[in-house]
Chains A and B, each alone.
Chain A
C-alpha cells in the first residue's frame, strides 16, 4: 500500500498571501496524484488531477506540481473561501486508493 504524507499539518496564512502545501508518496506514483479541497461540513471537491491539471471551474490561483514522490499544491493569493483542509490522493497503485492525512489552511 502506498502511504501518502502531507506537510505541514496546519498552515497559518494571512488573506492575500501565498501558501505551499506538500505531499509525499512512499514510492513513485509518476503524476497520478489528485488534490481535493474540503470546507467545514462539506464534501471534498476536486481541485487538481494528473498532478498539475486544474479541474473544471477551479481558479488559476491553484496550481499543482511535482512527479515521482514529491508534490506541491500552491495557492498564489489566498481568498477567504480558500481556508479549508486539503488532501492529496494517489491513484496509480490500487486498490486501495490512498489519501494523505490532510493539511488545514487557517487564517493567520
Chain B
C-alpha cells in the first residue's frame, strides 16, 4: 500500500522563476493538504484541496496556488520565487470519511538561488 508520494525530491531554482510540485495521496485518501517547512521550524499550512477545490487556506500570498485532479493527486505552484521560499514542501493526505489525521510524504526540498 503506497503512502503519500511527492516529486521531485529536490529542486533548485532562481529568484523570479516558477515551480510546480506534485503529490499523489495515500490509497483511499481524497483530501490533500500542502505545508511549507522552513529549516528548524514546524510545518506551516498552505492550503487544502478536496473535490478539486481549495477548501481552506493559510496565510500565504496568492503566488502560491494549487490544483487537484479527478484522481485526487495534486500540484502546488509557486510563482515569482523569492529566496524566502526555500523550504521543504510537504504534502499530506487524509480521507474525508471519518475523523482521521493526515499522513505526510517525504517532501520536496526547494532551494532558491
Q: Do A and B bind each other?
A: no
A interface with B by C-beta (< 8 Å): none
Which residues of B are at the interface with A, using a C-beta cutoff of 8 A?
none
